[in-house]
Amino acid sequence: NAGVMQNPRHLVRRRGQEARLRCSPMKGHSHVYWYRQLPEEGLKFMVYLQKENIIDESGMPKERFSAEFPKEGPSILRIQQVVRGDSAAYFCASSPKGDTQYFGPGTRLTVL
């Protein structure tokens, strides 16, 4: 059973570009979470989704960030007009029932 997949593993963008991060949950998992880890810090919750629904986006910045989890395909975290402060590791986790979460390897975003 494959684990949580994230791609790309590393992403470099210039200021003002868009970043798209993808997450494929474990088979049978319908709950997806996104977290952000700034250098030398813990992880901070961003958004919680189920198929076609955003359940909790209380951790998402109000502007430039959006997330979706369509009926078919991976969950996408989208960052528009990136700035240097967006440089971080972005982790996706999936869960079968909304309790124990299993993490992907992360996408490390660098904004030049």
Partner 1 sequence: GDSVTQMEGPVTLSEEAFLTINCTYTATGYPSLFWYVQYPGEGLQLLLKATKADDKGSNKGFEATYRKETTSFHLEKGSVQVSDSAVYFCALSAPLVFGQGTRLTINP
The footprint of partner 1 (CB under 8 A) covers 4, 6, 33, 35, 41-45, 48, 56, 59, 91, 93, 98-106
Query: What is the closest distance, in whole angstroms, from the C-beta atom of residue 52 to partner 1 in the complex?
Result: 19
Q: Which is nearer to partner 1, 17 or 54 (CB)?
A: 54
Q: Where are the beta strands (DSSP E) in the chain?
A: 5-7, 10-13, 19-24, 31-37, 43-50, 53-56, 65-68, 75-79, 88-95, 102-103, 107-111
Q: What is the closest distance, in whole angstroms, from the C-beta atom of residue 61 to partner 1 in the complex? A: 16
Provide the minimum distance between the beta carbon of 14 and partner 1 in the complex, in angstroms, as a whole number: 24
Q: Which of residues 40 and 63 has its CB atom nearest to partner 1 in the complex?
A: 40
| Residue 51 DSSP one-character state | T
When the beta carbons of 39 and 72 are compared against partner 1, the nearer one is 39
**Which of 77, 81, 73, 69 lies closest to 32 in space, CA to CA?**
69
Are the CB atoms for 112 and 14 separated by under 8 Å?
Answer: yes
Q: Which is nearer to partner 1, 14 or 58 (CB)?
A: 58
Q: Least distance in Å: CB of 90 to partner 1? A: 11
Cα–Cα distance list, 65 to 13, 72, 100 (Å): 15, 21, 25
